Chains A and B, each alone.
Chain A
Amino acid sequence: MKMTYYNRVDETLYHDTLDNGLDVYIIVKRGYKEKCAYFGTKFGSLQTGDILVDEHGNKHPVLGGIAHFLEHRLFDNKRGNVMDLYDNMGASCNAFTSFNKTVYYFSSINNFDEGLNLLLDYPSEFEMSEEAVEGEKDIIIQEVKMYKDMPDRVLFFEGLRSLYNEHPITSEIGGEIEEVSATTRQLLGLCHSTFYDPSNMTLVVVGDVDVKETLELIKKNQAGKNFKASEHIVKEINESIEVAREFHEIKMNSNIDKVIIGYKMEPLDNLDTFSQNKVVSSLDIIGNILFSKSGEYYEDLVKEGLISNIESETLALPKMNAFFVSAESTKVDELAFRIKEIVASSLDTLTEERLQSNKKAMLSSLLYDCNSCSKLGYNFVNNILEDFNYFEMEEVIRTINLEYLKMVCKHYLLNAKVSVTVMKNKDD
């Protein structure tokens, strides 16, 4: 097991890869009572449309929402309901599915070893009846309906659909109602046997643990757990550089109009993960320089009565890279025009002083997150499942200089194709 001490953030990381391919990370937090563990797989909504091949050679497309459906169902196990099992230990557990991962986690004060063994077991075991699958559909459909009533979420996904034509990023993580209804036990099982291979998975443990003992427990649990993953054909994505729609308007039950402006940039797949994170962090800095409360334009936009709320974010995943500015406004059309103007002239706004100020802020955020075992574990597992060590973010940020920032602005942002999506009240 390799140990690395990151002195700038004062954190110690242990790493090992087991014989079956499982990657194990342990972050030691002395003096903390809470211990957490995260067990994740690289399977999310981005696999929608991929083809899986069963033992008979039959091909099955991955339906929208299936990674999320599987996450729900794995909580019923031969040992019993997993939440009940953790409740009996005095622990709490949950899971989440995102675009490119599914993560199962728990936290506890006592009985950590027992909880860790269970965490390593239940996602790896596929045991469910047809009846259980049918019953879960109603619950997930209620969840999907709940999301359909959330304007910010609806706007974000419509913003993605305005940018991308073919990319599976436009698929709802939970799927559409028809997709949920069409899910079968067989397809769930095939997804499980494809993506829940230990070599596709990572375990992260955070807390005041004995590293040697914890690693021994993990090794003992994983001994003999070897999967033969089913064949998986990745869907070919022929994504145009053009946006799907330059302008789109949606009507919804929203009291204040909203807008999201999307910038479709060149994907980052040709870069290593360090460089990818450097580009994304640079774009985040540009967004802050322009639109944060200390930024160049926030005050003007408020004075002009154009915003009550504005934020920017970058989303970079395989074969896609997008920058978004979203806001609430009583004057969305005028605001959209202003934001496009601001971004178009952003190069002139980038100065050494503004860069250094934002770098300080980003470095501080890393340290703030290290105060909590659960926050640190969450951030670490999210990054490591994208093949990036979260503690290296400190170095990523430090290496961004003004020249690099301007290069990112020119090459990615100013060359991007733009789309505008607005949400207006359906009664207007």
Chain B
Amino acid sequence: MEIRDFISDNGLRVVLIKTNKFKTIELNLFLSDRLDYKSVTTLNLLAILMKSASKNHPSVKEFSTFLKENYRIMIGASLTNLGETNTVNFKVRGLNAKFLENENINEKLFYILDEMVNNPLIEDGKFKDSYYDEQLRIYKETLEASRDYKEKVTIQKVNDIMGKDTPYGVFKDGDLRDLENLKNEDVVNEYQKLINRDACLYVIGDIEENEIQEYLSKYLKMSSKRSELSLLYKAEMEDKGAHQEQASFTQSSICLVYNFPIYKGDELSNAAKIYASMFNHYLFKIVREKHNFCYSIFARYDAYLGVINVYSNIESKNYDKTLELIDEIIEDLKNTEAHDVVEMTKGKIVNSYHKISDLYSSYVELHYYERLLGNEFDIDNITKEINEVTIEQVREVATKISRKLSFILKEKS
């Protein structure tokens, strides 16, 4: 893989990851800005509106037909919140010309990305009314349907408790309640802000720089701006206590929120990664394998917020005992002598990084977010630092964790 940075003639920052390993060319456009808690739902709807139709393909059918006829070009638009930063990522993927019969669709990939981003179906300051109404209805029903799943209900309730006006409480997929007073014009306003964000384009595949420059002279005439983005959210986390609710499910769903104030880039951040992985390991071993309380249990560490969340589905009768077991795991890790588990965990994390070069989307995302932090994404360096972590450092980070919320969505008896 060869990585090349350049600026297009319009001032757009481009990172070319040149490789002939994949059968595709993929474009990833990242648009980042400070997270505005109130706008996440609007941005979700906006992403749907931008990726489903455009001025030159003014219906879902026409837009999808264009994609299908060009060898099923795949597109995506998604939101990521890291710390106090929100990123909207537009993705376009198409087949390398080598696999097409006398055709080359590379230009069409840039074209359709430009259509999504710079040519949305906006007329007279609004998204086309019928189109907007349809997509809004679909989005609403999708959000409602997601509440069929107890895990999503649990996450939303935990977010509400943690505070919707904090990064802890922002629900990534959007909130149904925010749609009540949302107007078409509000979404267009959000669009205007979006296209003025700091932009960065990644291109991965077997394609030359001069070919990219040629396409960028026609499409994606946007520039990158240097903006001060704060990826890390370092704030005192309030103790929210214990909460429970009941719902018509067969089984309970739980979420525990822990303050774990070790952030990306901190001296102990690699030790924190290892700690989080070890925590996961013991949750599985003890809560599931030894006590048979659940099928799945896992911990998710967010190094941008300094948080670890634990999720599981259990029976409510085992809830108190589960909390007890987790508290014991946390206590034991403070004095861990499990050198073998530390080494095993390092090996797993190192290998997961090495795998990333085979997963182009993951590679691109990590590369981009490291750049936002002002770092270069260097897998060899990262894995070297992981391997250098000591058990003493793991013990040290183990003392930093404290539970701030326990929530159970209980099954109906």
Q: Which residues of A contact B (CB under 8 A)?
A: 8-10, 31-34, 81, 87-92, 107-110, 135-140, 142-143, 145-146, 148-152, 253-256, 292-295, 298-299, 302-303, 305, 308-309, 328, 330, 357-358, 360-365, 367-368, 370-373, 426
Contacts and interface: CB of A to CB of B under 8 A. Distances in A.
Contacts of B314: 142
B38 interface: no
A371 B360 CA distance: 9
A92 B348 CA distance: 8
Given A255-B147, A365-B72, 6 more contacts: A142-B251, A148-B251, A255-B144, A299-B60, A357-B65, A372-B359
Contacts of B289: 81, 139
B220 to A, nearest CB: 23
B410 interface: no
Given A88-B344, A90-B348, A372-B358, A142 B134 contact: no
Contacts of B288: 139
Given A150-B149, A330-B141, A139 B351 contact: no
Given A146-B313, A302-B138, A358 B294 contact: no
A92 B280 CA distance: 14
Nearest to B312: A142
Contacts of B373: none
B61 A299 contact: yes
B254 to A, nearest CB: 13
B295 interface: yes
B99 A254 contact: no
Given A146-B296, A253-B247, A253-B249, A305 B137 contact: yes
A253 B145 contact: no
Contact of A308 (B130, B141, B148, B150): B141
Given A139-B292, A253-B247, A299-B60, A371 B145 contact: no
A34 B41 CA distance: 37
Interface in B60-113: 60-61, 63-65, 67-69, 71-72, 74, 93, 95, 98-99
A87 B344 contact: yes
Contact of A309 (B59, B60, B138, B359): B138
B23 A149 contact: no
Given A109-B354, A309-B138, A364-B95, A145 B359 contact: no
Interface size class of B (residues with CB under 8 A): 35 or more
B134 to A, nearest CB: 5
Interface string B326-353: 0000000000000010001001101100
A10 B355 contact: no
Given A33-B355, A367-B95, A302 B134 contact: yes
B357 interface: yes
A91 B24 CA distance: 27
Contacts of B59: 299
A423 to B, nearest CB: 9
Contacts of A299: 59-61
Contacts of B296: 146
Given A109-B355, A360-B68, A87 B348 contact: yes
A308 B138 contact: yes
A254 B65 contact: no
Interface string B243-273: 0000111110000000000000000000000
Contact of A361 (B68, B134, B247): B68
Contacts of B130: 303
A142 B141 CA distance: 29
Given A87-B348, A109-B354, A255 B249 contact: no
A87 to B, nearest CB: 5
Nearest to A76: B289
A7 to B, nearest CB: 10
Interface in B273-318: 281, 288-289, 292-296, 313-315
Given A255-B145, A367-B99, A90 B350 contact: yes
Contact of A368 (B24, B281, B348, B354): B24
Interface string B230-247: 000000000000000001
B22 interface: yes
Interface in B143-157: 144-145, 147-150
A315 B160 CA distance: 41
Q: Closest 9 CB pairs between A and B?
A: A90-B347, A138-B292, A308-B141, A294-B64, A143-B295, A293-B64, A361-B72, A364-B72, A253-B248
A330 B65 CA distance: 27
Contacts of B358: 32-34, 372-373
Contacts of A298: 60-61
Contacts of A151: 148-149
Contact of A357 (B22, B68, B350, B359): B68
